[in-house]
Structure 1
Amino acid sequence: MISSFFSKAKPIHFVVVTLLLFIAFTLTKVYNIKETVDFFLIVKQILLFGVCFFSIFVFDFLSGKNDLTKSNSYKILFFSLFMVLMPQTFMDSKLLIANLFILFALRRIISIRSKIFINKKVFDAAFWIGMASLLCFWASLYFILLFAALLLYAVADVKNWIIPFVGALTVVVLTVSFLLLTNTDIETYLSNINTDISFDFSPLNANQIIVSSTVILSYFVWAVFFYIIRIKSKTKSYKPSYLLVLLAALIAIAIVVISPQKTGAEFIFLFAPMSIIMANYLEIISEKWFKEILIWLLILVPVINLVL
C-alpha cells in the first residue's frame, strides 16, 4: 500500500519520487518540445530537471526542519504528484526557477521562529523573493508573507522590519548593474516586465487543465478545513508556522487568479504549501483505504488526462 510505504521518512522515497518526476518530465518534453534537439537543448533540460529535483530536496528540508509535518514522506509524494498532475509546470523554466527561489525564501521565513539570526534570515528571505519577482512579477506578493512572519513571531526590533526593503533593494542594484554590464537598455527591460492583472481564465479551458485544476482545488478546499482545526491544537510557538503555510497557499491562489499569462504552470506556487496541508490531513486519517484513494486518484488522473 502506497500510504503505508510513505508513512515513514526513508531515503528510498527520494529515489521513487525522483524517478516519477523524471518519467513525467521526460514525457512532457518529448511530446511538447518542437525545437531541434541538440547538445545545448539537452543540457538545458538536464538543468531544469535538476531544479525540479532540488526543489523537492529544499521543500523536504524546510518542512522537516520546522516540524510542519510528522516524520513521513507524504509531503514530497504530494509535491511530486501535483507536478505530474499539472505537467505545464515542466514547460515554464522561469516559473520552475522562481518557485525554487520562493522555497528558499519560505525556508528562511519559517525558521524565524527560532529567533536566532533574525536579521540574516529576513534579508535572505527578501533577497530570494526579489529574485523570484524578476522571473514572475507577482511572486512579489510573498513579501506579504515575510511581514506576516515578523508580526506573528512578534519580532519587535524596528530594524528587522526595514531589512526586507534592503534585501529588495539589493536585488534591484544587482539587476541594474548586470543590465549596465551587458549593455541592456533598462527602459526596454522594464517595459518587458508583465505587471498586468488578468481575470480571463479562457486559456485554462483545455480538458486536461480543467480536470487537474479541479482535482487540486478540491483537495485543497477539503484538506484546509481540517488543517485549520488542527492549528488550534498546536502549541503557541508552532501556531505561527502553520498559519504562514496557510497564508503561503492563499498567496499562491491569488497568483493563479491574477496572473496575466494563464497556462496552468502558475499553479506551481501552490504545490509546496498544499503538500504540507495534505500531509497533515493524511496524518489524522485513520482509514487506510481512504488514504489510498486520495493518493491513487492523483496517480490515475494524469493517466486519464492522456486520453482526453
Structure 2
Amino acid sequence: MITSIFSKSKSINFIIVFFITLLAFVIARIRLVNEPITLIFILKQLAQLFICYISVLLLNFIANKNNLAVKNNYEILLFSLFLLLIVHTTSNTGIILSNFFILLGLRRIMSLWSQKDVKQKLFDAAFWIAIASLFYFWAILFFALIMISLILYPDNKLRHWIIPFMGVASVYVISVSASVIIYNNFFEIFDITPGVSYDFINYNSAKYLVAITLLISFGIWSSIFYSQNIKKKKKAFRASFKIIIFAVVIAFLIVLHAPKKDGSEFLFMFAPLAVIVSNYIEIIQDKWFKEVFLSLLIIIPFITLLL
C-alpha cells in the first residue's frame, strides 16, 4: 500500500514530502535553536525552509530529467525521511546553502549525457561547486565529479578539461572583488579554513548510532543491486548512474573530514543516497519485501525522534 502511493508522480506525494521536511525543520528548531524569536530570526528560518523545499524539487528534477527514477517519487520521500532521521541537517545554514549549490552543479554534470552545450555545462558545474565551497569548504571535493564525468563521457578535447578550472577561478575573482569592495581586504569574505576532525564522539549516542546504521546498511545493500542494475540501463544514461555512486563516496569523505561533527554534514549524502535506495526499491520483485523495506525507512526516522 505504501509503495503504491509513491509509485507514480502525484501532487499528494509532494504534500507528504513537504510535511515531513517541515516536521524535521520544526523539531530541529525546538531542540537546537536558543535564539530569541525576532522578525529577522523568523525570516532567516523561512529562507532556510524555502531552500530545503527547493532542494527537494531540484532533486526530483535531476532524477526525472536523467531517467534516474522510473516515474516515481521515492527519491524525494527518502530525502525528506533522511532529514527527519538526522534533524541537525536542517540547522546549519552554511551546509544547507552549500548542498543546494552542489545540487545545481550536479544537475549540470548529469546533463552532459546529451553532449549539447558541453563547455557551458562544465563551466556552470564548476561555478556552482566553487560557490558551494564558499559556504562549506569541503564541498570543493565535489569538483572531482566533473573530472570523473569527463572520464565517463569519453572526451578527448583538452579545452573541456580546462574549462572547469576557469569556472572555479571566476568564483575566486568575483569573491576577491566583493571582499575588496565590502571589507577593503582581499580575503576577508573567505571562510576557507580547511579544518579537519576525526573525533567521532558526538556520534556516540543512540539516535546517531541508529541513524548512521540505517544509512550505511541500507545504503550499502542498495548500492550492490544498484551497481548491478546499471548495465541494464540505456547506454546514454549509464554514466549518470555511476556519477551518483561517486557522489555518495565524496559525501562520505566529507563526513569523515568534517571539522565539526554535529550531524549536519550528512546532508551531502542524502540526495545521491536517496537516488540509489529508490532505484533498489523500484527493482524489488517481492511486493511484501518492498513494503517492509520502505516501511522501515519510514518508521525508523520517527522512532529516532523519541531517542
Q: Which amino acid aligns with 1:77?
A: L
Please list, as runs of the form range in 1=range in 2, the aligned pairs for 1:212-227 lying within 5 A after superposition: 212-227=211-226
Please list, as runs of the form range in 1=range in 2, the aligned pairs for 1:129-144 lying within 5 A after superposition: 129-144=129-144
Worse-superposed segment, 205-214 or 144-153: 205-214
| Aligned counterpart, 1:264 | 263
Please list, as runs of the form range in 1=range in 2, the aligned pairs for 1:143-182 lying within 5 A after superposition: 143-182=143-182
Change (3 A) 1:170 1:264: same
Please list, as runs of the form range in 1=range in 2, the aligned pairs for 1:179-190 lying within 5 A after superposition: 179-183=179-183, 185-186=185-186
Mapped to 1, the partners of 2:140 and 2:200 lie a distance apart of: 22
| Aligned counterpart, 2:116 | 116
Note if contact 2:27-2:87 (Cα within 8 Å) is conserved in structure 1. Answer: no
Secondary structure (helix, strand or coil) at the match of 1:182 reads: helix
Change (3 A) 1:31 1:69: same
Mapped to 1, the partners of 2:189 and 2:50 lie a distance apart of: 28
Shift of 1:250: 0.7
Mapped to 1, the partners of 2:260 and 2:297 lie a distance apart of: 25
| Aligned counterpart, 1:228 | 227
Identity of counterpart residues, as a percentage? 39
Please list, as runs of the form range in 1=range in 2, the aligned pairs for 1:188-267 lying within 5 A after superposition: 192-267=191-266
Shift of 1:307: 2.8
Change (3 A) 1:10 1:248: same
Mapped to 2, the partners of 1:294 and 1:215 lie a distance apart of: 11
Shift of 1:302: 2.8
| Aligned counterpart, 1:53 | 53
Mapped to 2, the partners of 1:105 and 1:21 lie a distance apart of: 22
Mapped to 2, the partners of 1:140 and 1:27 lie a distance apart of: 30
Shift of 1:186: 3.9
Unpaired segments of 5 or more residues in structure 2?
Answer: none
| Aligned counterpart, 1:2 | 2
Mapped to 2, the partners of 1:14 and 1:30 lie a distance apart of: 24
Note if contact 2:22-2:49 (Cα within 8 Å) is conserved in structure 1. Answer: yes
Shift of 1:193: 2.4
1:252-291 deviation digits (Å, cap 9, x = unpaired): 1111111121111111111111111111101111222222
Mapped to 1, the partners of 2:148 and 2:49 lie a distance apart of: 32
Note if contact 1:85-1:298 (Cα within 8 Å) is conserved in structure 2. Answer: no
1:11-41 deviation digits (Å, cap 9, x = unpaired): 2211110111112211221232111101110
Note if contact 2:179-2:186 (Cα within 8 Å) is conserved in structure 1. Answer: yes
Corresponding position: 1:78 with 2:81? no
CA-based RMSD of the aligned residues comes to 1.4
Residues paired across the two proteins, number = 307
Mapped to 2, the partners of 1:307 and 1:11 lie a distance apart of: 30
Q: Which amino acid aligns with 2:8?
A: K
1:155-202 deviation digits (Å, cap 9, x = unpaired): 222111111111001110111111111115445555x52313322211
| Aligned counterpart, 1:275 | 274
Mapped to 1, the partners of 2:192 and 2:143 lie a distance apart of: 18
Mapped to 1, the partners of 2:132 and 2:209 lie a distance apart of: 27
| Aligned counterpart, 1:284 | 283
Q: Could you list the runs of 4 or more consecutive aligned residues of structure 1 that deviate by over 3 angstroms after TM superposition? A: 184-190
Mapped to 1, the partners of 2:161 and 2:81 lie a distance apart of: 37
Unpaired segments of 5 or more residues in structure 1?
Answer: none
| Aligned counterpart, 2:305 | 306
